[in-house]
Amino acid sequence: MMSEETRKGAEIIRRGGVVAFPTETVYGLGADAFNPIAVARVFEVKRRPYFDPLIVHLATLKDLDRLVREIPSKAERLIEKFWPGPLTLVLFKKEEVPEIVTSGLQTVAVRMPKHPMTLQLIQLAETPIVGPSANPFGYLSPTRAEDVQEQLGDQVDFILDGGPCEVGVESTIVSFAEEGPALLRAGGIPLEEIESIIGKVNITKSGEKGPLAPGMLPKHYAPRTPVLLNWDEASPEELKEKRIGLLAFREPMVFFNFSHIEILSKKGDLREAAANLFSAMRRLDRLGLDLILAEPVPEVGLGRAIMDRLRKASSTLKGEGGS
């Protein structure tokens, strides 16, 4: 099925425009990866610093050929197993990939998204497309077309509505730029599943790499309302008379008079929790609360990606933004 909307989006991308597009993870801000001027506009719309490189989305393995020099055998095994899907690989780039896409790095981040509309969009546009999450730099990622409309609606040429995102957190990023594979960002494919295919993956601590992986900056994915991850960080006095929202993992035992409660998954399912995470935080953020208290989730499977987002949302370091 080929929708008129997808055709229109592809046409705009071919002409060098910026189109917000759905993926299985979050909505992206798309432009022709081989058109540096179009890519520059993506940075402008997002107010993203030029040192933070973009992920290139592709629809076929032929596209991959245009972008990367070589594919290590472990990367190939991951591609076979997880593409299309929420896995981004950092590989050495071909000369032709514009520097603005990779912030001057010798590597490029690539992924094949799992959303029929997106794959069609890329194919009709006849070019791989860059796609940072379609949010202003540092804010929560959008998981619905309405979220994009609300924040960047007047700045993009078109929003392709593909419904709510199924996975709800960004792709897992694995880099092959150094000796062994390294996890740069926990995401939609659990680390355990990746290691079951290629063995041990190095875990790079947040921020360790500095500007090499700027998405790892501590403050990131943050609502405007302060987020607290542990009750212990605040004294009871500090919490008195405050309007506090609860972001609960599962059905909570309520022992405090919360102004509002969002439950990520009643039955405590991490997959469901990930899918609901950003929209639940957005709803809480709209209420003008004094504080959002977030309940930690178990750090296994998708729980690793959820905790990474919650830690970054709750980081008190101000002035440092994320993708």
- Where on the chain is the footprint of ligand TXA (CB under 6 A)? 23, 25-26, 28, 52-55, 86, 88, 90, 102, 105, 107-109, 113, 131-133, 170-171, 173, 175, 184, 212-215, 323
CA atoms within 13 A on the CB side of 177: 20
**Residue 53 binds which entry of Mg ion, ligand TXA, none, CB below 5-8 Å type-dependent:** ligand TXA
Closer to ligand TXA at the Cβ: 17 or 86? 86
3-class secondary structure, 39: helix
**Residue 26 binds which entry of ligand TXA, Mg ion, none, CB below 5-8 Å type-dependent:** ligand TXA
DSSP codes, 182-241: EEEE--SS-HHHHHHHH---EEPPTTTTGGGSGGG-SS-S--SS-EES-GGGS-HHHHTT
Distance in Å, CB of 305 to Mg ion, minimum: 13
Closer to Mg ion at the Cβ: 25 or 204? 25
Residues 177, 117 contacting (CB under 8 angstroms): no
Distance in Å, CB of 206 to Mg ion, minimum: 15
| Residue 313 to residue 315: CA distance in whole angstroms | 6
**Residue 105 binds which entry of Mg ion, ligand TXA, none, CB below 5-8 Å type-dependent:** ligand TXA
Closer to ligand TXA at the Cβ: 90 or 246? 90
292: its two tokens: 């959002």
Binding of residue 133 to Mg ion (CB under 5 A) = yes
Closer to ligand TXA at the Cβ: 184 or 246? 184
24: its two tokens: 């299985």
Residues that bind Mg ion (rule: CB under 5 A) add up to a total of: 2
Residues 187, 169 contacting (CB under 8 angstroms): yes
